[in-house]
Structure 1
Amino acid sequence: MDVFLGIDTSCYTTSLCLVDGAYRIVADERRLLTVKPGKRGLSQSEMVYQHVRNLPDLTEKLVPSLAGNTIRAVAVTNKPRRREDSYMPAFLSGIGYGRSIAALLGVPLYTVSHQENHLLAVLRGTGYTDIPFRALHISGGTTDFLSVCPDAEGLDITRIGGTSDISAGQFIDRVGVALGLPFPAGKSVDMESRDFLDTAKGTAVFYKDGEVSFSGPESDIQRRIVAGETEKGPLCAETLKIVWRGIRKLLERTEGDKTSLLVAAGGVMENTYLRSALAAYAQREGFSFLPAEKGYSADNASGAAFWAALRST
């Protein structure tokens, strides 16, 4: 059987993925980069170091899935966004690995940006679309509201809104780490919040010209934690309610948009509450909401693998 290899070396996950010609997952191997307790991130040099160590291990785990299969193409993420000024050293690990594998096998090598990879991971479940759509890319480093048009290179993306300061993922991670939760804190915040979402409120979110701001609410919660307000559940629930208010403001800006599909990707979109809130909002407003398959909002290489398959068939 023909299979297609995707590679993604993002800020906090090393990922390899194989899909078949029908875009089904054949193998998916990932490893989170290690962040010391109490820390909120890694330097780029440390990311590159860990990716270089992880790639051989993940490759060895992938090998059994190649029995009876043949890799026909490779796709790798090469930068954060499809822009000339977009660059991040972490992706060099994957690019070098992808070039080597493609050269050894004598197969095509394709590149996509990390942002395209996230959105393609969602579209893989539908077999792609050539219809323009709106998208939310909400992760540890990004909160972007996007207008997307598929093209021959992948996805032509225009940013139409987002955050003017910290991302939703940074907001969640900073609160989580301050409460003693491990970094990245998304999963822990999700779990801690569940019994308190019905009563959580939270502060207002500043919004202007298509941009929301999470730095004010984050500073407010941090001050309260320092002052001794450290019960995890209520503060995690409040943080998520504030993030949802910000997302709502972005969506309300384009409620008259005739684009009927909203795609949602990025690690923050693994959150149970935010996914359900978006689904309910889409139903009320009459547009289609397409999240990633559960487990594929967070960093993974399935979008790149999907792109390799599309380019080869």
Structure 2
Amino acid sequence: MDAFLGIDTSCYTTSLCVVDSHFDVVADERIILTVPQGGRGLSQSNMVYQHMRNLPVLFERLAPQLESCVIRAVGVTDKPRRREDSYMPAFLAGLGYGRSLAAVLRVPLYTLSHQENHLLAALRATGSIGQEAFYGLHLSGGTTDLLKAVPDAMGLDIERVGGTSDISAGQFIDRIGVALGLPFPAGVHVDKMAQTAAVPAKPSHVWCRQGEISFSGPESQGQRRIAGRSGTAAEICSWTLATVWDGLRRMLDDKEDMQSLVAVGGVMSNAYLQGELAAYCRRRHVRLLLAPAGFSADNGSGAAFWAAWQERKSK
């Protein structure tokens, strides 16, 4: 069976994914990077070290699942965004493995940005990249961007048209979660704890101007609430997510021409945010596409899909 390998080495996860010629996932292996208790991130050198340690483990896990597969191409992320000034050492680990494998296997190597990888992870479910422009919402640990994406020969030509002017939604959630004593990354723990709140919390107002929103004020407010023991952990988690959604809604309201929206990223795995976004898009008659379950957070399926798509186009 023809198969296509995708590699992604991001700030939080080492990822390998293999899809077949129909773009179905054959194998998916990931390891989340280890952050010390109480920490709020990692240095780039530590990320590279952990990726280099994790990649052989993931390939060993992958090997038994590929006995009937022939790798025809490799896709790998090589930078955060498709911009000349976009660079992050963490991606060199995956790129090095991708280049080496492609050379040894004598197959094509296709590179793309981490942001394109996320959007393509959702488009894979449709079986096509298409030709029409669409809006993208990328919510991750370090990114809150509203994007305008246009498919082209290199993948997706992406323009940032909105987002945060300071900390990302993921950083806001992580900082509140860590202050509450939850593990980092804290998103999944904040999500679960928020669901135990007796009554859904009302959000704080989020500043928004011309598509730019700010979470630094609400984050300071949340830290004061925690220090002053104002509310239970569940109530504060519920308030945090409600406040994130208030900011996202204001940002999306600014785009009156929006007809389709692809929403991806680790933060977009949040059940509350998915529900609010789905209801919002129904009210505005906007087509919403979410990544398949388990593929919104960092993973290599978008890179694998891009490699498979390119090989299909070359025939």
Q: 2:16 — aligned with what?
A: 16
Task: Indicate if the aligned counterparts of 1:14 and 1:31 stay in contact, CA closer than 8 A.
Answer: yes
TM-score (norm 2): 0.97
Structure 2: runs of 5+ lacking an equivalent? none
Identity %, equivalent residues: 63
What's the CA shift string for 1:160-204, capped at 9, x where partnerless? Answer: 000000000000000000001000001101100013385301310
Structure 1: runs of 5+ lacking an equivalent? none
CA distance in 2: counterparts of 1:291 and 1:198, whole angstroms: 27
> Following TM superposition, by how much is the alpha carbon of 1:226 offset from its aligned partner in structure 2, in angstroms?
1.3
> Following TM superposition, by how much is the alpha carbon of 1:11 offset from its aligned partner in structure 2, in angstroms?
0.2
Q: 2:270 — aligned with what?
A: 271
Task: Indicate if the aligned counterparts of 1:177 and 1:183 stay in contact, CA closer than 8 A.
Answer: yes
What's the CA shift string for 1:51-93, capped at 9, x where partnerless? Answer: 0000000000000121111000001000000000000000000
Closer, same or farther: CA 163–104 of 1 in aligned 2, 3 Å: same
- DSSP 3-state at the match of 1:155: strand
Task: Give runs of aligned pairs for residues 96-107 of structure 1, distance below 5 A.
Answer: 96-107=96-107
Task: Give runs of aligned pairs for residues 157-168 of structure 1, distance below 5 A.
Answer: 157-168=158-169
What's the CA shift string for 1:136-181, capped at 9, x where partnerless? Answer: 0011010000111011100000000000000000000000000010
- DSSP 3-state at the match of 1:4: strand
2:296 maps to 1:297? yes
CA distance in 2: counterparts of 1:231 and 1:130, whole angstroms: 48
Q: 1:33 — aligned with what?
A: 33
CA distance in 2: counterparts of 1:31 and 1:48, whole angstroms: 13
CA distance in 1: counterparts of 2:179 and 2:198, whole angstroms: 20
Task: Indicate if the aligned counterparts of 2:78 and 2:95 stay in contact, CA closer than 8 A.
Answer: yes
After the TM superposition, which of the residue ranges 274-283 and 224-233 deviates more from structure 2?
224-233
Task: Indicate if the aligned counterparts of 1:4 and 1:308 stay in contact, CA closer than 8 A.
Answer: yes
Q: 1:131 — aligned with what?
A: 132
Q: 2:226 — aligned with what?
A: 225
Q: 1:67 — aligned with what?
A: 67
What amino acid maps onto 1:284 in structure 2?
A: R
Task: Indicate if the aligned counterparts of 2:8 and 2:114 stay in contact, CA closer than 8 A.
Answer: yes
CA distance in 1: counterparts of 2:66 and 2:255, whole angstroms: 45
CA distance in 2: counterparts of 1:289 and 1:122, whole angstroms: 11
Task: Indicate if the aligned counterparts of 1:2 and 1:20 stay in contact, CA closer than 8 A.
Answer: yes
Task: Indicate if the aligned counterparts of 1:179 and 1:230 stay in contact, CA closer than 8 A.
Answer: no
- DSSP 3-state at the match of 1:78: strand
What amino acid maps onto 1:306 in structure 2?
A: F
> Following TM superposition, by how much is the alpha carbon of 1:3 offset from its aligned partner in structure 2, in angstroms?
0.2
Task: Indicate if the aligned counterparts of 1:175 and 1:221 stay in contact, CA closer than 8 A.
Answer: yes
What amino acid maps onto 1:65 in structure 2?
A: Q
Tell me which stretches of 4 or more aligned residues in structure 1 moved more than 3 Å.
none
2:123 maps to 1:148? no
Task: Indicate if the aligned counterparts of 1:51 and 1:93 stay in contact, CA closer than 8 A.
Answer: yes
Task: Indicate if the aligned counterparts of 2:13 and 2:33 stay in contact, CA closer than 8 A.
Answer: yes
CA distance in 2: counterparts of 1:33 and 1:107, whole angstroms: 29
Task: Give runs of aligned pairs for residues 157-306 of structure 1, distance below 5 A.
Answer: 157-196=158-197, 198-229=199-230, 231-255=232-256, 257=257, 259-306=258-305
> Following TM superposition, by how much is the alpha carbon of 1:131 offset from its aligned partner in structure 2, in angstroms?
1.5
Give the paired residue count.
Answer: 311
- DSSP 3-state at the match of 2:237: helix
CA distance in 1: counterparts of 2:138 and 2:297, whole angstroms: 11
What's the CA shift string for 1:253-273, capped at 9, x where partnerless? Answer: 012x0x421000000000001
- DSSP 3-state at the match of 2:289: strand
> Following TM superposition, by how much is the alpha carbon of 1:224 offset from its aligned partner in structure 2, in angstroms?
1.5
